[in-house]
Amino acid sequence: MTSSSPRTVEEIFKDYSARRSALIRALTSDVDEFYSLCDPEKENLCLYGHPSESWEVTLPAEEVPPELPEPALGINFARDGMNRRDWLSLVAVHSDSWLLSVAFYFGAQLNRNERKRLFSMVNDLPTLFEVVTGRKQTKDKPGVDSGSKSRNSIKRSSDGQMRNNPKLLDERYGEDEDEHSETLCGSCGGNYNSDHEFWIGCDICEKWFHGKCVKITPAKADSIKQYKCPSCSSKRGRQ
């Protein structure tokens, strides 16, 4: 490593962010220029992001081993053999891998806690793949990670196992709706149906309720760590 190489977590993250910004620009706002530079008739080409926030499509370094880990080699060869969006997504995935390899190349001397902190900082940013494809990060899902009720009505039972709202089972796994027709709202007694209505499960009695029957909206459910239905709440109050 050269004497000017980033060494602290903050310096490495700054370098990572600058290179990432450059690659995002190449794959989004400058995408037409990037696309034209990746001529399949040329030799093996790589996409580089530089600490100056500039990007470059060029041949790989000649020295072995190179000063830095190298990006995916020959990204230009598949350009005309794939759907443009799919090709850009593939380049984005490989560029994500390269960014991480460069960051941890510089971070080789970091201790365990510093590496964890660096990865945490990196992980707070959307990946290039997410930016290019328009997909959003999915992290800290309330229903899965914290046990609270999500708008998908996932609840955690007393033994720690995940239980799914019957509607969610139909949507995710294609199970027969008739299999869940016996599920009744604990408040109005109405059957489960395939309409996109919000249901919430009580963590105490494990009965299911229409959100509207117990005056719980999906947004409100997201902030509830343990839901108690009106009946269980009143029982607890009398004890």
- The Cα 162–Cα 151 span in angstroms is 15
Amino acid 122 reads V
pLDDT, tens digit (0-9, with 9 covering 90-100), for 45-59: 999 999 999 999 999
Average pLDDT over residues 56-71: 91
Structural tokens at position 228: 């108690």
When the pLDDT of each residue in the chain is averaged and rounded to a whole number, the result is 80
Classify the C-alpha dihedral 85-88-94-98 as positive or negative. negative
Residue pair 203/226 in contact by the 8 Å Cβ criterion: yes
pTM of the model: 0.57
Confidence label for 14 from pLDDT (cuts 50, 70 and 90): very high
**Residue 128 to residue 47: CA distance in whole angstroms:** 13
27 to 23, 30, 49, 77, 201: CA distances (angstroms):
6, 6, 11, 17, 44
Whether the bond into 65 is cis, omega within 30 of 0: yes
For 144, the token pair is 């899965």
Q: How many residues does the chain have?
A: 239
Separation of CA 15 from chain center = 22
Secondary structure E strands in the chain: 46-49, 55-58, 154-156, 162-164, 199-201, 208-210
The rounded percent of the chain whose pLDDT value lies above 70 is: 75
Tell me: the pLDDT tens digits for 149-203? Answer: 433 443 433 333 334 444 333 444 444 445 455 677 887 877 766 456 778 888 8
